């Protein structure tokens, strides 16, 4: 699939957008290969339910995503997709720059006395 244009063109702004785009990419590549989900699942050695969830949500283990992409001969297409989308993503280049959209609630610790109560 060398030289293939990215089948998806979206603006990525949050991590869930990346996973959703990954799911759409896998579905598009599977359909271009004219494979059903059960056929690709067998070829990739992953459960059909995993492939279905991957296409719907973009969620699966790295190992299973790699198996699916490898069985579609789509590792180069996946790299092209990521390279093409990188400039659209508003993602930090370093974890020190990461600022979540909403602040996490602060944990409150309760100190126990000698008797085990609060």
Residue 96: what pLDDT?
64
Residue 112: what pLDDT?
72
116 Cβ neighbours under 8 A, 6+ residues apart = none
Residue 58: what pLDDT?
92
Residues of the chain with pLDDT under 70: 1-13, 84-107, 113-118
Residue 79: what pLDDT?
86
Domain spans of the chain, in order of start: 15-92
Give pLDDT tens digits for 87-103.
555 555 666 665 666 56
Is 70 within 8 Å of 77 (Cβ atoms)? no
Residue 28: what pLDDT?
94
Residue 109: what pLDDT?
72
Residue 93: what pLDDT?
62
Q: How many CA atoms lie within 13 Å of 7's alpha carbon, on the beta-carbon side?
A: 17
Query: What fold is seen in the domain 15-92?
Result: 434 Repressor (Amino-terminal Domain) (1.10.260)
DSSP-assigned letter for residue 97:
G
Residue 32: what pLDDT?
94
């Amino acid at each position: 699939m060398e030289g293939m244009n990215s089948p998806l063109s979206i603006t990525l702004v949050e991590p869930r957008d990346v996973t959703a785009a990954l799911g759409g990419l896998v579905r598009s590549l599977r359909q271009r290969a004219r494979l059903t989900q059960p056929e690709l699942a067998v070829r990739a050695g992953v459960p059909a339910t995993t492939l279905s969830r991957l296409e719907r949500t973009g969620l699966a283990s790295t190992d299973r995503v790699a198996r699916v992409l490898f069985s579609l001969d789509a590792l180069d297409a996946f790299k092209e997709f990521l390279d093409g989308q990188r400039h659209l993503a508003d993602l930090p280049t370093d974890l020190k720059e990461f600022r979540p959209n909403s602040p996490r609630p602060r944990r409150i610790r309760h100190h126990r006395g000698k008797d085990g109560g609060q």
